[in-house]
Amino acid sequence: MNHDLSRLPDIIGRYPRSPQSLIAVLQDIQRDYHFLPCEALKETAKALQVPLSKVFSVSTFYNAFSLYPRGERVIRICTGTTCHIRGAKLIQYQLEDKLSIKAGQTTPDLKFTLEVVNCVGACAMAPVVIVNGKYFGSVKVSDSKKLLRGSKDAR
């Protein structure tokens, strides 16, 4: 797959050209492209003078990075302890069923990505689901359809 790499020099240029900048650069690439294209990893390695193996190691170690394209709408289900005991698994099953994918996957039409995340620190409103950065609290099993539409009336 070819990606528009013209934005890369700008992203890499934001940080000092040193191995220390590796995670920050990868985060910005991830934010911009919603994943880390292979070509971008190679460019980053070259620009920061880091072995490509280390770039690969870092990009597979941290949860924030994805080596595969993600969907337009990223649904993250919090599975922190509080969300777990308040039924996050149920929400996960419902969404997996509705989208016919498992957590960690993206629908073939690249519309949705379903992810689980280990606690987002909104425990008081458990269970919590985040759709493209927007928080939804006290989610119920019956809310799954609304979540897919990206709208859930606040309580």
Q: CB of residue 124 vs another protein: minimum separation in angstroms? A: 3
Interface with another protein by CB under 8 A: which residues? 18-24, 26-27, 38, 41, 50-58, 60-65, 79-87, 89-90, 93-94, 97, 117-126, 128, 133, 135-138, 140-142, 154-155
Q: Cβ distance 114 to 96 under 8 Å?
A: yes
Pairwise CA distance, residues 41 & 25, whole Å: 10
**Bridge partner residues of 130 (DSSP):** 76, 135
- Closer by beta carbon to another protein, 32 or else 97: 97
Which of 136, 116, 122 has the alpha carbon at shortest distance from 82?
Answer: 122
Closest contact distance (angstroms) between CB of 10 and another protein is 18
- For the bound state, the minimum distance from the C-beta of residue 98 to another protein, rounded and expressed in Å, comes to 8
Which tokens go with 141? Answer: 């099993």
Token pair, residue 93, equals 């099953």
CA atoms within 13 A on the CB side of 91: 29
At its nearest, how many Å lie between another protein and the CB of residue 94? Answer: 6
Query: Is 48 in contact with 8 (CB distance < 8 Å)?
Result: no
